[in-house]
Amino acid sequence: MNVKHPFTLLGGLSAAEFMQRYWQRKPLLVRQAIPAFSPLLSRAELFDLAAQPEVESRLVMGEKQGQRDWSMQRGPFKRRQIPPLTERDWTLLVQGVDLHDDRVAALMQQFRFVPDARLDDVMISYASDTGGVGPHFDSYDVFLLQAHGQRRWRIGRQKDLSLVPDLPLKILANFEPEHDYVLNPGDMLYLPPRYAHDGVAIGECMTYSVGFRVPQAGDLAREMLMRLSEGADDAAGADLYQDATQPAVVKPAAIPEAMQDFAKSAMQRALKDPLALPRALGEYLTEPKAQVWFEASSTPRKLKSVRLDRRSRMMYDRHHVFLNGESWRAAGQDATLMRRLADNRALTEQDLAQASTGALALLMDWCDDGWLHANS
């Protein structure tokens, strides 16, 4: 992708201009971001996904017996559990559809002007007339692509973030919209984090939400420490604490400073490897989601060309390549090849002709694991 070329998806802006002027700053409405766009999944296909236990889905009801009464249920949902299409004010949310459908996975690839480390998933929202999830804000960036029907979006910079109490959804108590838009199929609205919004279906509608990961500092620190602890025994060594010079004490509950220094030294040795933290981060960022698994496949004796499975997460840094929570040191021509695979999510026959014997063996292993697929 040439990030400096005008991009229809972004209303004629280049990806570079969008990231500089709008990303995490202000909303952007794009009419016909994808001209003549139509749903990639039919309503029946979406309902079938919602019935699968490995697919995260939710059903939101905004009205009960004519009164505003928010409720939410978690899937899976059998077809008879989904309200009739003629019933107003309900929404079915199906998360991570890109993990289950190649067409939706291909749609998400259009947003890779943002680092893969930030891309999360595509959620599809199906709503009956007047359906929605109420005025709320998200902690992450989101692109809202209208796929079918119409949805009215009211948005605003919300200062008062207080919520309606005792609800299963995080509904803003005092929503103050500043702009009002009706989106048609192919239209798209970008919203930065914490920008309040309320989307209401005008008739039957379907909306695709491209969401992004937002690591929280505390969660990230805990995850890094857990991963670093796995190699702490080798890194810190097996030295035992010694205190031959410890005098007798009159305050036995006081922790000796020497023991604190010993603990500090052990931590410093455990973190001595400058690549330990980047390696832990890369493994964490490429870890498949809990509901993802891969099926082993038979691999041909010779690879002509390969492509990553839609569920595979592959990234790299200066010293490693990462795939599905595992890491490998990489340098030289093989590193260039693996980085090309991560960026392009595929390698051609010409690419593979440059691979070393070791790199080809690794690619074959990934094919066996179902992480990579050989093209016939």
Averaged pLDDT for residues 358-369: 95
| Mean pLDDT of all residues belonging to the chain | 94
Domain-wise residue ranges, the chain:
8-212, 284-375
Give the type of residue at 21.
R
Range name among 96-100, 197-201, 227-231, 311-315 with the lowest pLDDT average: 227-231
Cα–Cα distance measured from residue 244 to residue 263, given in angstroms and rounded to the nearest whole number: 17
Q: What are phi and psi of 67, to 5 degrees?
A: -115, 145
Cα distances (Å, whole numbers) of residue 295 to 35, 159, 254, 292, 372:
36, 48, 56, 10, 11
Judge whether residue 168 has pLDDT over 60: yes
b/e sequence 297-336, b meaning 16+ C-beta within 10 Å: eebeeebeebebbbbbbbbbeebbbbbbeebbebeeebbe
Q: Flag whether the pTM goes above 0.75.
A: yes
* pLDDT confidence tier of residue 272, bands split at 50, 70 and 90: confident
* pLDDT confidence tier of residue 286, bands split at 50, 70 and 90: very high
Say which CATH architecture domain 8-212 belongs to: Sandwich (2.60)
Alpha-carbon torsion (4, 141, 144, 293), positive or negative: positive
Q: What are phi and psi of 193, to 5 degrees?
A: -60, 145
Query: With 0-12 CB in 10 A as exposed, 13-18 as middle and 19+ as buried, what is 213?
Result: middle
Structure tokens at 15: 């990806």
Structure tokens at 222: 């805990």
pLDDT at residue 27 in the model: 98
Q: Where are the beta strands (DSSP E) in the chain?
A: 28-30, 57-64, 67-74, 90-94, 119-127, 142-157, 179-183, 188-191, 195-212, 305-308, 314-316, 320-323, 326-329, 346-347, 372-375
Could you read off the pLDDT of 110-143 as tens digits, one per residue? 999 999 999 999 999 999 999 999 999 999 999 9
Which residues neighbour 282 within 8 Å (Cβ) at sequence distance 6 or greater?
315, 316, 317, 320, 322, 327
Fold of 284-375: Malonyl-Coenzyme A Acyl Carrier Protein; domain 2 (3.40.366)
